[in-house]
Amino acid sequence: MLFRSDWVRDAVAARVHANGGDDYGLGWWVSDDSYWALGRGGQHVKVYPAFNAIVVVTAAEFDFDQLEPLLYSASPNSIKQQLKLLIPEYTPHLD
C-alpha cells in the first residue's frame, strides 16, 4: 500500500469550487467520475475509480477528451447495455 484509503479520500474531497465545473481538493482536481493532478509540460495523472484505472501521461499535446469516450464505451455497464441490444435474452452475470 502506497497511500492509506482515508488519505486518498480526504485528498480528493472537493474543497474549492472552480468556475469551470471541476472542483479542487488537496492538490487534485476533482470531478464526478475522476480526479487528476497536472504537472509541468503536459504531465497528467488521472484516476478513474469506476474503471479501476489510472492514466499517466508524460508528454504534452495529449487530450483526455479523446480518451474518455473510449474508456466510457468500454465500461462494464456500457458493454452490458450493448450486449442487451444485440442479444435481447442476454442476462448479465457480473455486477
37: nearest Cα among 51, 50, 47: 47
Separate counts of helices (H) and strands (E) for the chain = 3, 6
The dihedral through the CA atoms of 58, 71, 36, 60 has a sign that is positive
Better-scored residue on pLDDT, 84 or 64: 64
Question: What confidence tens digit (pLDDT) does each residue in 18-57 have?
Answer: 877 789 999 999 988 889 998 887 788 988 887 778 888 8
pLDDT at position 26: 92
d(CA 30, CA 14): 6
pLDDT at position 10: 92
- Report the chain's mean pLDDT, rounded to a whole number: 78
pTM of the prediction? 0.65
